[in-house]
Amino acid sequence: MNVKNIEKNGNQATIVVEIDKELMESGVNKAYMKARKQIQIPGFRKGKAPRKMIEAMYGAHVFYEDGLEEIFPEVYEAAVVKQDVKAVGRPSLTDMDISDEGIVTITITTDVYPEVTLGEYKGLEVEKAEATVTDEQVQAELDSMAQNVASTETVERAAQMGDTANIDFEGFDNGIPFDGGKGDNFDLKLGSGSFVPGFEEQIVGMNVGEEKDIDITFPEDYHAELAGKPVVFHVKVNKITETVVPALDDEFAKDVSEFDTLEELKADIRTKALEKAQKQIDSAFENACVEKAAENTTVDMPNALIEAELDTQMERFGYQLQMSGYSMEQYAKMMGGDVSTMRNAFRPAAEKQAKINVTLEKIGEVENITVSEDEINAELESLAAQYQLELEKVKDMVPAEEITTSLKTRKAVKVIVDSAVAVAPKAE
């Protein structure tokens, strides 16, 4: 095999390779052996036709394209890997010429890893907020805790906002029941906004056993069949319950926590909220630092890298959907599109992330970032503990190269963030 020419133009490389007769013949023969099982010609049983006979009928080079597929790994190794062409994505065969002597010359075109020119990535000035927790936030958390331990009691009085009314209802459009307008023993929290505007307000004041008709006009943006229509709901109240929220005092604190006083509980809520807020701010600061470094990078991104990042993001999102019980196709349909529409929606984020990826890789190169065997083992042990798996199983599942890349990326991020200068956010 002879690599005759390599020509690079921007993010593409064109490689001309001459394949000798012996190698090409081995590929063609493998292709014939696979294909002959499906070929039947007059005078021969199916799968028994000689190669020469098939070539005589269909052309001397009938198996050459499939034969090239058979030997392509060897061709790729010699033409791309050994020539230090840093290819990305899938290469394509753009030309094939067969000489009278049987020597095959092919032209391969492939996207290559781009030239990356770093801009400023150290000492970046990036806005960073100060972690704060207000009294209102602490009170909201206390209220939420109180709601979690609240009890319900049946009451013998007229329904009020905040009560839960158990109702039977049926909707009528011009006296005719409509689909989806009926429910029995439905628990409706008054004031929750669960029903059509105006419905819950008209339940207020009703007593257990009382029935009445409620006039409602559906919003203009409701389902097409009922949008803007005036309808009547016949409603019967079966039961009324109220939520009894405990008083926020020292006894409450003892019941819901390990603290003896409400003030101690408030202090703990504030401390944990501050820790959470600080983590969010630190994460936002880190992301902003990395994004700014990537913005300062000059690179002409090959489409293959963007498509690879798109694949990653779509796969990750698809997994999240599966955890929620949806397929990608179902979710896309719910959103009024299809999978290709969703992929296009993800593209801007993929383009941004792909640029971040090459920026961090270049920083790793410039800063001579390395990863030791001990660091790789420590990361594998951490993953094994996190997912409660045996270490050897994790080693089989996660390639060491993937761990190395991840650790190098983290170190590159640390270079950016540790040198960054936090500045107060601009006043709105």
Q: What is the pLDDT along the chain (428 residues), one digit of tens a residue?
A: 788 888 888 888 899 988 888 888 888 889 888 888 777 787 777 777 888 888 887 887 888 888 888 888 888 888 888 888 888 888 888 888 888 777 889 898 988 999 999 999 999 999 999 999 999 999 999 999 999 999 999 999 999 999 999 999 999 998 999 888 899 999 999 999 888 889 999 999 999 999 999 999 988 888 777 888 899 999 999 999 999 999 999 999 999 999 999 999 999 999 999 999 999 999 999 999 999 999 999 999 999 999 999 999 999 999 999 988 888 898 888 888 888 999 999 999 999 999 999 999 999 999 999 999 999 999 999 999 988 989 889 889 988 899 999 999 999 999 999 999 999 998 77
Q: Is 229 helix (H, G, I), strand (E, B) or coil?
A: coil
* Residue 212, pLDDT score: 95
State the CB neighbour count (10 A cutoff) for residue 413: 19
For residue 215, list its beta bridge partners.
Answer: 232
User: What local confidence, expressed as pLDDT, does residue 418 receive?
Assistant: 97
Q: Which of 136, 141, 162, 146 is nearest to 247 (CA)?
A: 146
Residue 42: the pLDDT is 78
Q: Which of 69, 73, 108, 71 is nearest to 91 (CA)?
A: 108
Q: What is the pLDDT of residue 130?
A: 94
pLDDT at 420: 97
User: Count of alpha carbons within 13 Å of 349, Cβ hemisphere only?
Assistant: 11
Q: Tell the residue number behind the tokens 């600061």, with chain if given.
A: 285
**Domains of the chain, each with CATH number or no CATH:** 2-113 (3.30.70.1050), 114-149+258-295+367-428 (no CATH), 151-244 (3.10.50.40), 301-354 (no CATH)
pLDDT at 39: 79
Sole residue written with tokens 């349909």: 333
Confidence (pLDDT) at 128: 96
From its phi and psi, is residue 111 left (phi > 0), alpha (psi between -120 and 50) or beta? Answer: beta
| 199 close to 189: Cβ distance less than 8 angstroms | no
Residue linked to tokens 């990326």 = 409
- pLDDT at position 64 is 85
Separation CA 20–CA 104 (nearest Å) = 7
In this structure, what DSSP letter does residue 38 have? G
Long-range Cβ contacts of 207-212 (<8 Å, 24+ apart): 207/157, 207/158, 207/159, 207/237, 207/240, 208/156, 208/237, 208/238, 208/239, 208/240, 209/236, 209/237, 209/238, 210/236, 210/237, 211/235, 211/236, 211/237
Give the residue ranges of DSSP H helices in 91-194: 135-148
Instruction: Name the pairing type of β-strands 421-423 and 125-127.
Output: parallel
Q: Tokens 């628990």 identify what position? A: 187
**And the tokens for 293?**
């470094």
CB 200 within 8 A of CB 212: no
Task: Tell me how far apart the terminal alpha carbons of the chain are, to the nearest angstrom.
Answer: 66
The per-residue pLDDT for 172 is 93
Token output for 197: 């505007």
Euclidean distance between CA atoms 361 and 290, whole angstroms: 12
Give alpha helix (H) positions in 106-256. 135-148, 199-203, 250-256
Rounded CA-CA distance 231/234 in Å is 10
**What pLDDT was estimated at residue 253?**
95
- Would strands 176-189 and 164-173 be described as parallel, antiparallel, or unpaired? antiparallel
H or E element that contains 116: strand 116-117
Beta carbons within 8 Å of 345's beta carbon, 6+ residues apart: none
Q: What angle do CA 32, 34, 39 make, to 5 degrees?
A: 75
* Selection from 213, 211, 217, 18 nearest residue 103 by Cα: 18
Q: CA–CA separation, 361 vs 294, rounded Å?
A: 11
Angle (CA) 146-150-151 rounded to 5° is 170
Q: What confidence score (pLDDT) does residue 95 get?
A: 86
Burial environment of residue 313 by CB neighbours within 10 A (0 to 12, 13 to 18, 19 or more): middle
CA–CA separation, 221 and 218 (whole Å): 8
Which contiguous run of DSSP H or E holds residue 153?
A: strand 151-154
